[in-house]
Structure 1
Amino acid sequence: MAYIRKIGLTWYYTVDIGLTLEGKRDQKKKGGFKTKKEAQLAAGKIEDEVASGLYIRETDTTFKEFVAEWLELYSDNVKESTVRVREHEIGCLTRHIGKLTKMKDITIKKYEKSLSALKKEGYAANTLAGIHGTAKMIFKKAMEFRVIRSDPTQYAKLPRVQKTVEELEQETEIPKYLEKEQLSLFLKNAQNRGLEGDYTIFLTLAYTGMRAGELCALKWSDIDFDEHTISITKTYYNPGNKITAYKLQTPKTPSSKRNIEIDDMVIKELQQHQSKQNIVKMEHRKEWHDKKFVFAKTDKNYGYPNYIKFVENRMTRLLKTSKLPEELTPHSLRHTHTSLLAEAGVGLEEIMERLGHSDDEITRKVYLHVTKTKKKEASQKFSELMRNL
């Protein structure tokens, strides 16, 4: 039963809400009510919540403290690269919410002001959406842990970001890739003027459409030389580009785990590459990092997998010597693979499956761009057919 009393000019209530962790009587006290009836009504609401099990006693937990607890739980179920993204987004929020701000004091208004401040700093709409998504996960968990009574992100609205002309143009812009004649020139240059391993690396990327991280993580056990397939089951992770500090992680998405059929020419090149690698491996067998990587270092750090930046640097060199656009990247070879498959008449669904996408807007754009010409040709052929009747 609530205890109501008057202190000075205002009324206060005291309500029993259960026991503390130490087994002592726990009470909720609040004052400042102008009338006894106001205090009774407020106390009655608390009593009803306690009786129904819905009462939440908000704690003085700070944003920094709760985020650290949430991040520890979150990190157990996701890849390290994902955790790094969340840490960056949390850092953006913390600057404006304040690391010492109590969770219970973060209102919708305060939260929306934080998002508006980030918008003024120039963050793009996609980045703000990512920050908001992380915040929603944090405050949802705070509700589950009964740290707060209401979720400030639940009805919060993201600030509208006016897109620049460049951003609007990029939305419709087709990603850059190599035309088939350019790809042929690039691969010939890799074969004739490339550094050790260049031709095998870029032939594999171009003929499979795999990601650079998937290529760096590839092991000999992933290649079935009899069935002419490559199995993609992992990806390479090494943000610091320290050769010996790499990690292997699960693929980017569930659909990224796949088997890719490969051409005879690629199989033969990989077999030759394996033979050359075995010679170096025998010469340095005592120091060889024997984890069976296909694209392994053969100078220093013998046997360790090549890192993604290494592949990017090698490609930039070859593009320069081939007089091809130097802004292209290993990922551009995925778009090149898409364009050539589309030109060869392979369906979009089959291309998506080969690339390890359940759905991807960029792949769709490249496919539609390439097949647009074929659709025009089909229309023209139909018209010609009717005119000849």
Structure 2
Amino acid sequence: MYFEERRNKDGKAFYVAVERYIDPLTDKTKRASVVYHANTVRARKQAGRELEDKIDELISKKQGLFQGQSMKTFFELKESWFNVWRTTVKPQTVKREELVIDRLSELLADDILLEKITPLLIQDCLNGYREKYHSTHSTMQHIKCTLNKIFDYGVLHNAIPFSPSRVVKLNATVEEKRAKKKRLEMKFLDEREVKVLLAELRKRRNQNYYDLALFLIGTGCRIGEASALTESDIDFENHLVTIDKSLQAHDLRVDDFYLDTTKTGAGERVEQLPEFVMQALIRVIERNKQFDEHVKNFPFEAFRKSEFLFRTEYGAPITSHSFREILGRVNRVLQAECQEKYGFEWTKNAVPHSFRHIHISVLRNDPTVPLKEVQSRVGHVLEETTNGYTHLMSASQEKSVEAINRFIEHMGISKGLASLA
């Protein structure tokens, strides 16, 4: 270490403590310095101490880039990952992942050393867990996905040289593959089934469920996005809807519902609306006005005051749970009566997300609608995600609107809408 006297542009003297050190990333000699202003023994000693601390910090910081955090056990790695990861996702996602974290504590001992964890150990642990609890393939996939995230974090922070779970493969049995396919098939609806489902929803006492179904078919919105909509989100003059939020209601009381962001950044979008959706929204708004007037004249403690568009009979926003309940009743009615009333057996299990499947399938099966337009319309980033929605259905969004309008007209649904207005 050595000391220099220098002068600033005004000619005033100041002093610099200088020391050289070896950069741990390059093995080259570098120079660090600290400025002090009094040319005394005490000031030089203080500057020397500050310079040593500065060099230690520089070296430690650069070593951290390749040496990683001091994580030795699986517990330390798991906790470090979870504390960072939880700040990047929504509370309900954290809650779901906490259940998996609890399972991991039984799968892999917290005190096991990271250096002892091998792909074969991971494979044996997963097999043992599955055999002990008779876990489904989807449960094991979720567990392995979490392990992948934890070990990838470890690789990033140089706690381990590679991820021992990445090379592990989970193989579903033939029965599990068939069961999964059957579950998916039950959620997909063809044109005939869509028509029958809408006919039954139209018979419900609260017609908002029917118009919500039409809105979801016409826009491909997620149910949480539709639940969050208010009248101010609709541009009636230009036939547009702004999707920029989602209603969070899972395991919450009505008074505790809250607005959150859309599922992904790409989920924030503006969609062009088909005419049948505009008519559905007009009917919904008119019913809401009638309901608000009724509440004003006949107040009741069960009624809820709300600005949301799609409401239950008591004024609370329609959520995934409440809509799923209605669809469950419709499913049961159709299972019992579809053959007699409509001439075919009802084998499906329609859920709120089924309508998003319908919308995307219609657009992806129409050769005039570009994939990018579909992705923009439904808020998808990856092409694989959009293509994953296609199934049984044989810049501007005009082509999308035309395609979904043709679908509705082909089923003859639009002809019956006038009587509902």
Is the 2:68–2:157 Cα contact (8 Å) retained in structure 1?
A: no
Q: 1:293 aligns with which of 293, 305, 308?
A: 308
SS for the counterpart of 2:270 is strand
Aligned-residue offset at 1:250: 2.2
1:135 alignment partner AA: L
Alignment of 1:166-177 (within 5 A): 166-167=176-177, 170=180, 176-177=187-188
2:317 alignment partner AA: P
Aligned-residue offset at 1:112: 4.4
Q: 2:219 aligns with which of 205, 208, 218?
A: 208
Please name the residue that 1:132 is paired with.
144
2:320 alignment partner AA: I
**CA distance in structure 2 between the partners assigned to 1:199 and 1:58 by the alignment:** 55
Please name the residue that 1:311 is paired with.
323
**CA distance in structure 2 between the partners assigned to 1:94 and 1:259 by the alignment:** 44
Please name the residue that 1:189 is paired with.
200
Is the 2:148–2:166 Cα contact (8 Å) retained in structure 1?
A: no
Post-superposition CA distance 1:169-194 (Å, at most 9, x none): 85697564333344333323333444
Please name the residue that 2:286 is paired with.
275
For structure 1, list consecutive stretches of 5 or more residues without a partner in the other structure: 1-48, 372-389
Residues 341 and 65 of structure 1, relative CA distance in 2, 3 Å threshold:
closer
Please name the residue that 1:376 is paired with.
none
Is the 2:249–2:319 Cα contact (8 Å) retained in structure 1?
A: yes
Residues 244 and 62 of structure 1, relative CA distance in 2, 3 Å threshold:
farther
**CA distance in structure 2 between the partners assigned to 1:69 and 1:343 by the alignment:** 45
Aligned-residue offset at 1:201: 1.6
Aligned-residue offset at 1:64: 4.8
Work out the number of aligned pairs and report it.
317
Aligned-residue offset at 1:159: 4.3
Q: 1:163 aligns with which of 157, 162, 173?
A: 173
Is the 1:206–1:336 Cα contact (8 Å) retained in structure 2?
A: yes
Provide the alpha-carbon RMSD of the alignment.
4.0
**CA distance in structure 2 between the partners assigned to 1:127 and 1:250 by the alignment:** 27
Is the 1:205–1:333 Cα contact (8 Å) retained in structure 2?
A: yes
Please name the residue that 1:107 is paired with.
117
1:270 alignment partner AA: L
Q: 2:106 aligns with which of 89, 95, 105?
A: 95
Residues 296 and 340 of structure 1, relative CA distance in 2, 3 Å threshold:
same
Task: Please give the TM-score of this superposition, normalised by the length of structure 2.
Answer: 0.61
The sequence identity of aligned pairs, in percent, is 21
Post-superposition CA distance 1:316-354 (Å, at most 9, x none): 223444524451222222222334445655436133433
**CA distance in structure 2 between the partners assigned to 1:72 and 1:145 by the alignment:** 14
Is the 1:295–1:306 Cα contact (8 Å) retained in structure 2?
A: yes
Aligned-residue offset at 1:283: 4.8
**CA distance in structure 1 between the partners assigned to 2:225 and 2:146 by the alignment:** 27
SS for the counterpart of 1:236 is strand
Aligned-residue offset at 1:311: 0.3
1:88 alignment partner AA: L
Residues 314 and 326 of structure 1, relative CA distance in 2, 3 Å threshold:
farther
SS for the counterpart of 1:357 is coil
Task: Please give the TM-score of this superposition, normalised by the length of structure 1.
Answer: 0.66
Please name the residue that 1:364 is paired with.
387
Post-superposition CA distance 1:83-114 (Å, at most 9, x none): 23322322221112234x25557532654443
Aligned-residue offset at 1:307: 2.0
Is the 2:189–2:392 Cα contact (8 Å) retained in structure 1?
A: no
Please name the residue that 1:337 is paired with.
359
